[in-house]
Structure 1
Amino acid sequence: MSKLKLHGTGDSKLMRRLTRIWLVAATGLLLSAGTVLAQDAQTPPADPGSAMSRGGHHHGMPSADDQLKHLTTKLNLSDDQQAKVKPILEEQHNQMEQLRADNSTSRQDRWKKMREIRENSDNQIKSVLNDDQKKQFDQMREEQRSRMKERMGAHSGADAPPAQ
C-alpha cells in the first residue's frame, strides 16, 4: 500500500509541476500577444500613396518616375524631352498628393481640381512633344478615360468621380 501512496504522491507533484509550467507558458504567451497587439495599435496605417510610389498598383497616382517611364516607352521620348517632362510630372504628383490630403474640400471639388491639374500638366507635356507624339498622347489619354468610365460603371462606390 505504501508503495501505491508514494507513487500517487509523485504523480501529484508531477501534475503540480506540469500545471505550473503550463501556467507560466500561457502567461508568457498572453503577455507577448498583448505586446504585439499594442504595437499594431500604435503602428499607423500604410500611406495610401506609398504603393504607387514604389511602382505597385493602387487607386492612387503612380510616381512621377513611373509615369515618365511609361510615357518614354509609349511615346519614345528623347533624353531632352524626358528632362523637360519630369519636372511637370513631379509637380503634378505633388499637387495631387496635397489635394488628396486636403479633407476640408468636398469630394466633388477635389475631383474638379484634379481634372484641372491633369489638364494643365497634359498641356505642358504636349508642348514638349512633336506632332506624332501629341496624337499618341491624346489617344493614350482617351483610352485612360474610357477605362476609367468602365471601372466607374462597374464600381459605383464612394471613390467614383461625380457625374458631369
Structure 2
Amino acid sequence: MGAEEERRVLVGRIVGVSGTAGAVKLESWTDPRMQIFRYQPWILKSAQTERQLSGCRGREQGKGMIATLPGIDDREQAAALIGTEIWVLRSALPRPKPGEYYWADLEGLDVVNLEGVPFGKVSHLFATGANDVLVIRDGERERMVPFVLEHHVKQVDLDARRIVVDWDPDF
C-alpha cells in the first residue's frame, strides 16, 4: 500500500442517536453531504478505538442525516459512538477536477512567493465564507494567505509538493 492510499481524510462525525434500532445521526462534510455514503469503507475513530466499516447506509432527515451501520443494532451501541469521527482513505475519493484541490492534498506542501522566498509549509486551511485560507507555518512564524487561484495562489504543483503565492514576505 502506497503513502497516497494510506492517507486519511476526515469526512464527518457521529453526533447523536435516532430511534431504538441503533441508527445514528451524522454530520457530513462532503459536498453534497450524501456523498459520504459513496466513500467507503469508513474508519470510525474515537479516543478509545478505531475500526473499519463497510456497508453504511443513510438518508437525509430534515436538516440532519440518519445512518445505519453494520453491527450496530440498538440504541446503547449507537450512543457509544457519539463523537466518533468518520475517516476515509484518500484513495476512496474521486480525482478533483482541474483547478480544484482537496485540503488534505495541500497540507504539508512547501510555499514560496514569486521571488522564491520560502514561507514554510501549509499547516492547514480554513473556510471564511468568502474564500479558503492557507495557514503557512515556518517555525514560530505563521502566515495566512487567501486561497484565491490566479490572484494570490499562482501555482499549485502537487508533484513537486510546492505552492507559489503572490504575497509580501513581510505581511
- TM interval, shorter chain, is under 0.3
Higher relative contact order (CA 8 A, sep 6+): 2
TM-score of the superposed pair, with normalisation by structure 1: 0.22
Q: Which structure has the greater CA radius of gyration?
A: 1
